[in-house]
Amino acid sequence: EKGGYDYFMLKEIAEQPKAVADTLLGRIDLAGNLCLDEVRIPASVLREVSKVVIVACGTAYHAGMIAKYAIEHWTRIPCETELASEFRYRDPILDQRTLVIAISQSGETMDTLMALRHAREQGAKVLAICNTNGSTIPRESDAVLYTHAGPEVAVASTKAFLTQLVACYLVALYLGQVRGTKWGDEILSVIRELSEIATQVDQVLETMEPVRELARSLADKNTVLFLGRHVGYPVALEGALKLKELAYMHAEGFAAGELKHGPIALIEQDVPVVVVVPSPRGRSVLHDKIVSNIQEIRARGARTIVIAERGDETVAPYADHLIEIPATPTLLQPLVATVPLQVFACELATARGNEVDQPRNLAKSVTVE
């Protein structure tokens, strides 16, 4: 059942191009319009939404953090993303015009379920993004957009994450289309680019051998740090979470802009720092800022592991290890940038002799608060 792979996690990482393609299937028509009729919230209601709140836990929360950038950019609706376990306990402000999006692979995570119940009690509409048909979270929501990742067995989430991102982009683009923002042309071009993403994820998977080699060479390290900005920041958090879960290493993700506000004190000789670099096109200001971050940490002895767009020549001189990913629109970059981090964590776990599919102390689905 592992399809020739040693671990379910490896199989699930390899299945990502298909999972992404399946999640898009039937949801974009030939003219590039989104067909999300399955989301049974009428366009008239979506047009009235004044605030979006995303609730989720763990990896699904990181997908939600990325969704916030996409939703606010394409729809101009204010969006906040919150850990489901924190949301309910701070008396959040919700009403009939609030759209709550609950993201969950299993559909059974108790914290997320309690958050959505609370939201519905306040009159908010709840849309679930879920991978498990008929599970509790979609059953208790007003609407559901299923991710079509297929069953995810490994405790560490991989293919579900990529499909959650796809579903979030679809919702963001759909809300943008329904409400007709000034980004109409960009929305159409991103929809086209989304159709290319499965191929690009496949390309990333084909170039992972150096990443595995690098991971093996770091097996005796105690700490790995991750830096990112904009949508690269949640990617950094996700890379760190994978490493904690699988390699039991101290791994922390930071917003690169925060470096000088504290984390730079952690940089010492040989500490591995993974940096997710935004595209030099698009938000190029951020690109340049992150390149200077890389120079700063390298000057202090860090071993820089740089994930950057193929052909980005400005970062290469400062990268001890360069991991190249295909060019994508800025907001879609997490779909390709996360994959090397999954492979990295999986290989480090193996090199450290850890149980990959069943890390210690963890359960696949957390059904208690």
Residue among 356, 317, 340 at smallest CA distance from 213 = 340
Q: Kind and range of the H or E element at 225? A: strand 223-228
Could you say whether residue 105 binds ligand M6R (CB under 6 A)? yes
Judged by CB under 6 A, does residue 342 bind ligand M6R? no
Q: Does 338 bind ligand M6R (CB under 6 A)?
A: no
Rounded to an integer, what is the distance from CA 200 to the centroid of its chain?
16
Q: Compute CA distances 241 → 57, 58, 157, 244, 330, whole Å.
A: 12, 8, 10, 5, 22
- What is the separation of C-alpha 238 from the centre of its chain, rounded to a whole number of angstroms? 7
Q: Is 85 in the site for ligand M6R (CB under 6 A)?
A: no
| Residue 54 makes contact with ligand M6R by CB under 6 A | no
Binding to ligand M6R by residue 366, rule CB under 6 A?
A: yes
Verify binding: residue 293, ligand M6R, rule CB under 6 A: no
Binding of residue 106 to ligand M6R (CB under 6 A): yes
∠113-165-116 over CA atoms, to 5°? 15
Is the distance from CB of 152 to CB of 7 less than 8 angstroms? Answer: no
In sequence order, the β-bridge partners of residue 359 are none
Of the residues 16, 23, 98, 104, which one makes contact with ligand M6R according to CB under 6 A = 104
Smaller CB separation from ligand M6R, 59 or 279 = 59
Handedness of CA 24, 26, 30, 36 (dihedral sign): negative
Which residue's beta carbon is nearest to the bound ligand M6R?
58
Taking CB under 6 A as the binding criterion, the range among 28-36, 43-51, 98-106, 261-269 that sits at the site for ligand M6R is 98-106
The answer to the question of residue 136 lying near ligand M6R (CB under 6 A) is no
Q: Which amino acid is at 140?
A: E
Nearer to ligand M6R, 75 or 158 (CB): 158
Using the minimum distance from each CB to ligand M6R, give the nearer residue, 107 or 176.
107
Stretch that binds ligand M6R, among 87-95, 102-110, 222-230, 347-355 (CB under 6 A): 102-110
CB 35 within 8 A of CB 28: yes
CB of 152 to ligand M6R, least distance (A): 9
Should residue 245 be labelled a site residue for ligand M6R when binding is judged by CB under 6 A?
Answer: yes
Judged by beta carbon, residue 22 or residue 245, the one nearer ligand M6R is: 245
SS3 at position 140: coil
The encoded tokens of residue 229 equal 């900005």
State the catalytic residue, choosing from 2, 244, 289, 364. Answer: 364
Three-state SS at 66: helix
- The answer to whether residue 347 forms part of the interface with ligand M6R (CB under 6 A) is no
User: How would DSSP label each residue in 291-354?
Assistant: HHHHHHHHHTT-EEEEEEETT-TTTGGG-SEEEEE----GGGTHHHHHHHHHHHHHHHHHHTT-
Distances (CA, A) of 357 to 61, 128, 147, 158, 368: 21, 26, 21, 12, 21
Site size for ligand M6R (CB under 6 A): 15
* By the rule CB under 6 A, 163 interacts with ligand M6R: no
Phi, psi of 106 (to 5 degrees): -75, -30
> Given candidates 156, 170, 276, 306, which one binds ligand M6R under the rule CB under 6 A?
156
Quick check: 157 binds ligand M6R (CB under 6 A)?
A: yes
- Of 75, 85, 112, 328, the one binding ligand M6R (CB under 6 A) is 112
As a whole number of angstroms, the distance between CA 227 and CA 234 comes to: 9
Strand partners, 55: 82, 102
Would you count residue 264 as binding ligand M6R (CB under 6 A)? Answer: no
Per the annotation, the verdict on 364 as an active-site residue is yes
| Residue 126 binding ligand M6R, by CB under 6 A | no
Q: Which residues bind ligand M6R (CB under 6 A)?
A: 57-60, 104-106, 109, 112, 155-157, 245, 365-366
Supply the residues annotated as catalytic.
364
